[in-house]
Amino acid sequence: MADLKEIGKQAKATRYILAGLDTDTKNKALFTAAECLETDAADILAENAKDLEAGRSRSMPEGLLDRLSLTQKRISDMAEGLRQVAALPDPVGEILDTFTRPNGLVISKRRVPLGVIGIIYESRPNVTADAFGLCFKAGNAVILKGGSDAIFSNLAIEKSLHRALAQCNIPETAVQLIPSTDRAVTQEMMRLNESIDVLIPRGGAGLIKMVVENSTVPVIETGTGNCHVYVDADADFDMAIRIILNAKTQRVGVCNACESLVIHESICDSFLPKLYQALREKDVEIHADDRAFLEIDGCVPATEADYGTEYLALKLSVKTVSSLEEAIGHINRYNTGHSEAIITNNEAHARTFLDQVDAACVYVNASTRFTDGFEFGFGAEIGISTQMLHARGPMGLKELTSYKYTIRGNGQTRS
């Protein structure tokens, strides 16, 4: 079993070194890491083949095998990802505020790294390089616990990253993959408050729930998205159809996809037939309430459970409401704090929706699919936070930092 206490101790010692690295040094290390990944591609692919073989021998489904699989192209993408992170502005050291108190103390609020970040993730081996890149650029040490399915791939990627760090005279302990597939190690990691400052689970709802329920280390909850589009009484129908199709079908199985349509009762007759036809052309199964139900193939009655379900599939629930207030109430009851949209030409309704809907990202006349670090211009993201604490929505480099106050005096004492 891995000596997690020792890994934590090393990470904690390393975080102080990383916090002091200048931007050029960090960028050079990221470029070197990109190069090493490309140079080591053959080794990484060979180790990945072991994981794939083990997966096949356990009859892993094709979809999971695809997520696990690395190719020359996917390794190049990982390398390119690190180069892109190098190109982003360094958040560390930014002075967020400075003020002078009546007693002469000068107080500055300075952006600093979070410290040691733990990432618990599932079978995609690219997370090993991606998470390292973002955490490292923001000055953090990172401890990675990947899925057991990908252990050989992850270790090979870690080895390549270590080679790069060594070349740049940076401690290899800037990134440490836990070399164990033992579940007890994950349990121990979730209680390592003495050295881990924050845990970010990346994966399905089950993984995230497990981490939230078992971790005593602070957690950033990410990725669950029961996202709604509300079509208001005076919406532009063509725009509404374009946006709903995009939010539902442009990519299924992602957290910012639309899972539920909320519609004003006054437009059921005029709008739904056209919408349902467009959805059915994309094979979307429609789970509608009584008022929104149409006798067509692929339209079934909705149950209460539908409204609480993140399908991650070609399915859409439909709820009819008699007012904007009812729409907002429904959304605030069932949503997961991710992304919600209204389609309307009524400016007062748009404002009310933006004010009252409680979610990380609230849209007027646009697709929920834009909730994404790249689309927001953050350059990259470690995930989408769905909690209220620390960061909400797409988390880029800034969201991987904290702050400290530095205070300069000339002998002040408190009276």
The answer to whether residue 376 forms part of the interface with a copy of itself (CB under 8 A) is yes
Q: What are phi and psi of 371, to 5 degrees?
A: -75, 95
- Neighbour-count burial of 295, counting CB atoms closer than 10 A to its CB (0-12 exposed, 13-18 middle, 19+ buried): exposed
The answer to whether residue 413 forms part of the interface with a copy of itself (CB under 8 A) is yes
How far apart CA 275 and CA 244 sit, in angstroms, is 9
Please report the DSSP string for 55-84 in residue order. HHHTT--HHHHHHH---HHHHHHHHHHHHH
User: Quick one: which segment of 21-29, 74-82, 265-273, 370-378 binds a copy of itself (CB under 8 A)?
Assistant: 370-378
User: Quick one: which segment of 46-54, 66-74, 106-114, 174-182 binds a copy of itself (CB under 8 A)?
Assistant: 106-114
Q: Which of 154/215 has CB closer to a copy of itself?
A: 215
The answer to whether residue 383 forms part of the interface with a copy of itself (CB under 8 A) is no
- Which residues partner with 202 through β-bridges? 121
Show contacts with a copy of itself in window 113-142 (CB under 8 A).
114-115
The answer to whether residue 360 forms part of the interface with a copy of itself (CB under 8 A) is yes
Written as six digits, the tokens of 152 are 């050989």
How far apart CA 101 and CA 23 sit, in angstroms, is 32
Figure out which of the listed residues 50, 183, 274, 404 binds a copy of itself, where binding follows CB under 8 A. Answer: 404
The answer to whether residue 311 forms part of the interface with a copy of itself (CB under 8 A) is no
Q: What angle do CA 341, 343, 346 make, to 5 degrees?
A: 120
The answer to whether residue 402 forms part of the interface with a copy of itself (CB under 8 A) is yes
Q: Are 192 and 200 in contact (CB under 8 A)?
A: no
Figure out which of the listed residues 159, 332, 346, 379 binds a copy of itself, where binding follows CB under 8 A. Answer: 332
Q: What are phi and psi of 326, to 5 degrees?
A: -65, -40
**Closest distance to a copy of itself from the beta carbon of 403 (Å):** 6
User: Quick one: which segment of 45-53, 81-89, 165-173, 359-367 binds a copy of itself (CB under 8 A)?
Assistant: 359-367
Which ranges of 179-320 would DSSP assign to H, the alpha helix? 183-189, 205-214, 237-249, 268-281, 304-307
Summarize as ranges the residues that interact with a copy of itself (CB under 8 A). Answer: 16, 19-20, 99, 101, 105, 107, 112, 114-115, 193, 197-198, 212-213, 215-216, 218-220, 236, 239, 242-243, 245-247, 250, 332, 350, 354-356, 358-367, 369-370, 375-377, 387-390, 392-393, 402-415
